[in-house]
Structure 1
Amino acid sequence: MSEQRPPLPPFTAESALRKVQAAEDAWNSRDPERVALAYTEDSEWRNRDVFLNGRAEIVDFLRAKWEREHGYRLRKELWAYDGDRIAVRFAYEWHDDEGQWYRSYGNENWEFDEDGLMRRRYASINDLPISEDERRIAV
C-alpha cells in the first residue's frame, strides 16, 4: 500500500486551499524531514537555480536553507488549480547571520501524483533586502 497525503487530486477550490495551507504549515515548522514527507520519493524540484531529485536531496537542501535563513516565516496563497496541479504565490521573511532581513517573493508550480504526494515543484524566487521594521509576516 502506498502512502497518501490528502487531499488528493483532482483538486477543488476547497481541497487546493487545504493543500496550500498544509504546505505553509509544514514549511513554517522548519523541519526538513516533515516537509519532505509531502513529496514523492523521486520528487523533482527546481528551486531558483538548484535542481533536486528525491526526498534525501530535499532534506539536505532544506536543512542547509534553514541553517542560513534565520527567523524564517512563510505565507502562501493559492493562485490557480486544475486537476493534479496547483500554482501558488508566496512571500517569506528571514535574516542572515549579520542580521540583514530579507523578504523573498516567488511563485511555485506543483504537480501531484494520485496519492496526493508532490512529484514536481518548480519555484522562482527573488529576494528583497528590508529593514527589521519593514517586516510584514509576524511569527
Structure 2
Amino acid sequence: MESKPPLPPFTLETAKTKVQMAEDAWNTRNPEKVSLAYTVDSVWRNRSEFFTGRDKIREFLVRKWHKELDYRLKKELWSFTDDRISVKFEYEWHDDSGQWYRSYGNEQWEFAENGLMKRREASINDLPILESERKFRWDRQS
C-alpha cells in the first residue's frame, strides 16, 4: 500500500513537516511528482474547478504550470487536527506576456490513514504586480 509519511494523527511538528513537503514538491513544478501525494480518488476544488482522481490532478497541474510560468510558492501552516491541515499561501508567477502576479489563498487538506491527501479545497485570488514588486526570487534551474 502507498504511504506518504508523516501520517495522521498530526502533531504540530508533523503538520509543519507535511506543509513544508507540499511546498517543496509544488516548487518542483513536476506534475507527476506532485500528483503522487494524493490518493487515486482524491477530491479537489481549485478556485472554480472541481475534479476527482490523481489523473485529473496531474492534468490540472500540467495546465497550471503551462500558464503560470516561473511559479514560486510559500506555504504556512494555519491550523491542524488529527487528519486535517489548513494552510495559507502565496505564490508568484507570470503569464506568457510577461505580466507578473502574486496569488494568495487558503487550502484545506484531509488525509487518509496512509498520509496521502484525499481531499483538497483551495480558494485563490490573483493580484497583478510589477516584476520589481516580486518577493520570491530563485534560481530558475529549480
Letter in 2 for 1:54: G
Unaligned runs of 5+ in 2: none
Q: Which residue does 2:126 correspond to in 1?
A: 127
- Write out aligned runs for 1:14-53 (5 A): 14-53=13-52
- Write out aligned runs for 1:1-139 (5 A): 2-139=1-138
d(CA) in 1 for partners of 2:120, 2:136: 23
d(CA) in 1 for partners of 2:137, 2:9: 33
State the Cα distance separating 1:39 from its structure 2 match: 0.2
d(CA) in 2 for partners of 1:33, 1:132: 29
Secondary structure, counterpart of 2:27 in structure 1: helix
d(CA) in 2 for partners of 1:77, 1:60: 26
Letter in 1 for 2:12: A
Cα deviation, 1:85-136, whole Å, max 9, x if unaligned, reads: 0000000000001000000000000000000000000000000000000000
Letter in 2 for 1:129: P
TM-score (norm 2): 0.96
d(CA) in 1 for partners of 2:108, 2:33: 20
Secondary structure, counterpart of 2:125 in structure 1: strand
Letter in 2 for 1:34: K
TM-score (norm 1): 0.98
TM-align CA RMSD: 0.4
State the Cα distance separating 1:138 from its structure 2 match: 1.8
Secondary structure, counterpart of 1:29 in structure 2: coil
State the Cα distance separating 1:29 from its structure 2 match: 0.3
d(CA) in 2 for partners of 1:135, 1:52: 31
d(CA) in 2 for partners of 1:52, 1:30: 20
Number of paired residues?
A: 138
d(CA) in 2 for partners of 1:51, 1:34: 21
Large movers: runs of 4+ above 3 Å: none
State the Cα distance separating 1:137 from its structure 2 match: 1.2
